[in-house]
């Protein structure tokens, strides 16, 4: 049975996740039966569901004949799009960290504990972080330290501290280190004033020192593995509360003129902005998508328009400030159309690859598709001109993501493109409206064309060729 398990589902012997006809199932093995029953019978599951902190599931008959180790089959609520911590903005990672600590606090009240604290166990559902791994809860053993403490520090505390105190771009370390940022590395990258923060001194510096010391010891032959001092429940609760206070204090505010500019939106004056919104709304309405990829979403103006009629709109942008702003906006309007918007960080010139063992633990962007439609508004010039990507290649990439496309062509006469070309040679003779249409014709047929009245820009609705 386990050969059905998804690529990321192999570490925990307590169960695994698999897909059957697009539906997701989780098998609970005999070995995890008691912990699973404790989750369901202790009142913890209900408490977490009431607060919407854990994904809902129902116990179902397994879709296949099961082997001897099978205890139960769960069908969890579907997550429209799986996102990874290296695609989150600062506040998304921070909220996921606070969720993890809150889960552990609530678990302890029900005599249970989190056995892992992986950031990959958190997904954004209806605009808020949600725990998706039902089998991460085990019965609490009095006196035992928190087994997931190291993982929590590596997946959450270390990257958050680096992003807040050193550079927001250090979230990239989560992409290179699949089990979180090593604590000694995080400590060495933090600025000197790290010594003034007792929380970081304790949970990163002391923690890393201890790790190094005991690792060295474990290697010596003949020495017995050292045993941990028992940790009382109240001491453990204090440690969780301490971590919570430290995480809450970490903050990041995008600064500088760039940030201020985002409020004014893109290069449209008001009437033509309204016109563009109208055209995008009509195009989306004509397509009627369930899932939308908004590429180069900025702070999500058009993602919100799409979200009025679509269940899930993933709003990708390369700028951490845009994604942060978009997420905070989504979070404060929870329950409205906006809740379907999932802001994520993505560099289209280097999108998230397949990662982990055998390249199958974390899926690439394309593997997590397809969407029903790609929105590419005020984007093409950034890829074609700033990054020299030939137009036919851009068309082929978009076509690999969704069968429908809503795209805006921004010509050379546009002030935005003129700025890009001001400091370099114009090596783009084919970057014209005709050249654009010819390049995209290989992958798409044009369904509708709408030139915008007060600029040279044109909006297209296209359909992928069979």
Partner 1 sequence: MPRLHPQLYATAMWIALAIVSGLGGEPGVAPTAEANEVHLAYLDPGSGSFMVQALIAALAGIGVAGRRYWTQIKTWLGLQNRSADDEFDPDDD
- Looking at the Cβ atoms of 238 and 364, the one nearer to partner 1 is 238
Which two three-digit tokens encode residue 465? 């060729």
Among 9, 14, 83, 377, binds partner 1 (CB under 8 A): 14
User: Per CB under 8 A, which region of 81-89, 216-224, 256-264, 265-273 contacts partner 1?
Assistant: 216-224
| Shortest Å, Cβ 144 to partner 1 | 7
Contact between 16 and partner 1 by CB under 8 A: the answer reads no
- Looking at the Cβ atoms of 128 and 166, the one nearer to partner 1 is 128
Binding positions for partner 1, 35-74, rule CB under 8 A: 47, 51
Among 4, 150, 175, 177, binds partner 1 (CB under 8 A): 150
x/- map, 106-125, partner 1, by CB under 8 A: x--x-----xx---------
Phi then psi dihedrals of residue 287, to 5 deg: -85, -40
**Neighbouring C-alpha atoms within 13 Å toward the C-beta of 7:** 13
Binding positions for partner 1, 240-269, rule CB under 8 A: 241-242, 244-245, 248
Q: Which of 233, 285, 219, 209 is nearest to 111 (CA)?
A: 233
Give CA–CA dist 422/51, Å, rounded: 53
| Shortest Å, Cβ 103 to partner 1 | 10
Query: Could you identify the residue written with the tokens 């690439």?
Result: 364
381 Cβ contact list (under 8 Å, min separation 6): 410, 414, 416, 417, 420
| Shortest Å, Cβ 152 to partner 1 | 10
User: Per CB under 8 A, which region of 144-152, 288-296, 350-358, 421-429 contacts partner 1?
Assistant: 144-152
With contact defined as beta carbons under 8 Å apart, do 71 and 30 qualify? yes
Which two three-digit tokens encode residue 14? 């307590």
Q: Which of 344, 190, 325, 171 is nearest to 254 (CA)?
A: 325
Among 238, 290, 364, 432, binds partner 1 (CB under 8 A): 238
Among 20, 34, 143, 286, binds partner 1 (CB under 8 A): 143
Give CA–CA dist 265/260, Å, rounded: 10
Contact between 349 and partner 1 by CB under 8 A: the answer reads no
Q: Which of 449, 370, 367, 442 is nearest to 404 (CA)?
A: 370
Pairing of strands 458-464, 444-451: antiparallel
| Shortest Å, Cβ 154 to partner 1 | 9
Upstream peptide bond of 61 is cis (omega within 30 degrees of 0): no
- Looking at the Cβ atoms of 238 and 449, the one nearer to partner 1 is 238
Give CA–CA dist 26/29, Å, rounded: 10
Which two three-digit tokens encode residue 149? 């403490």
Residues found near partner 1 in the complex (CB under 8 A)? 11-14, 47, 51, 95, 98-99, 102, 105-106, 109, 115-116, 128-129, 141, 143-151, 153, 195-198, 201-203, 206-207, 209-215, 217-218, 224-231, 234-236, 238-239, 241-242, 244-245, 248, 331-332
């Amino acid at each position: 049975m386990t050969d059905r398990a998804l690529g990321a589902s192999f570490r925990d012997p307590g169960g695994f996740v698999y897909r059957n006809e697009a539906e997701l199932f989780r098998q609970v093995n005999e070995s995890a039966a008691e912990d699973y029953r404790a989750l369901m019978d202790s009142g913890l599951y209900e408490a977490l569901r009431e607060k919407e902190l854990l994904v809902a599931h129902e116990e179902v008959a397994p879709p296949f004949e099961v082997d001897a180790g099978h205890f139960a089959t769960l069908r969890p609520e579907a997550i429209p799009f799986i996102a990874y911590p290296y695609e989150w903005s600062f506040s998304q990672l921070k909220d996921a960290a606070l969720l993890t600590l809150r889960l552990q606090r609530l678990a302890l009240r029900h005599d249970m504990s989190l056995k892992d604290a992986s950031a990959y166990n958190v997904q954004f559902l209806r605009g808020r972080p949600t725990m998706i791994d039902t089998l991460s809860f085990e019965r609490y053993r009095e006196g035992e330290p928190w087994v997931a403490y190291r993982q929590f520090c590596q997946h959450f505390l270390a990257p958050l501290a680096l992003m807040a105190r050193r550079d927001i771009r250090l979230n990239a370390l989560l992409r290179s280190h699949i089990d979180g940022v090593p604590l000694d590395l995080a400590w060495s990258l933090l600025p000197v004033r790290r010594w003034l923060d007792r929380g970081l001194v304790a949970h990163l510096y002391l923690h890393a020192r201890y790790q190094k010391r005991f690792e060295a010891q474990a290697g010596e032959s003949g020495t017995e593995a050292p045993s941990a001092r028992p940790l009382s429940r109240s001491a453990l609760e204090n440690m969780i509360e301490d971590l919570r206070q430290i995480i809450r204090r970490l903050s990041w505010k995008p600064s500088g003129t760039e940030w201020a500019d985002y409020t004014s939106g893109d290069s449209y004056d008001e009437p033509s902005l309204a016109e563009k919104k109208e055209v995008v709304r009509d195009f989306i309405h004509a397509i009627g998508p369930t899932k939308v990829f908004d590429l180069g979403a900025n702070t999500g103006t058009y993602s919100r328009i799409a979200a009025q009629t679509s269940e899930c709109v993933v709003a990708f942008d390369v700028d951490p400030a845009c994604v942060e702003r978009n997420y905070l906006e989504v979070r404060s309007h929870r329950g409205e159309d906006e809740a379907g918007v999932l802001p994520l960080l993505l560099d289209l010139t280097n999108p998230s690859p397949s990662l982990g063992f055998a390249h199958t633990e974390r899926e690439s962007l394309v593997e997590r598709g397809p969407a029903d439609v790609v929105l590419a508004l005020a984007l093409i010039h950034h890829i074609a001109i700033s990054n020299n990507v030939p137009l036919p290649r851009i068309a082929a990439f978009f076509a690999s993501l969704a069968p429908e496309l809503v795209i805006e062509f921004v010509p050379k006469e546009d002030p935005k493109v003129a700025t890009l070309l001001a400091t370099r040679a114009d090596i783009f003779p084919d970057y014209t409206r005709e050249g654009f249409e010819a390049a995209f014709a290989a992958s798409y047929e044009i369904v509708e064309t709408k030139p915008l009245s007060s600029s040279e820009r044109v909006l297209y609705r296209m359909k992928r060729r069979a």
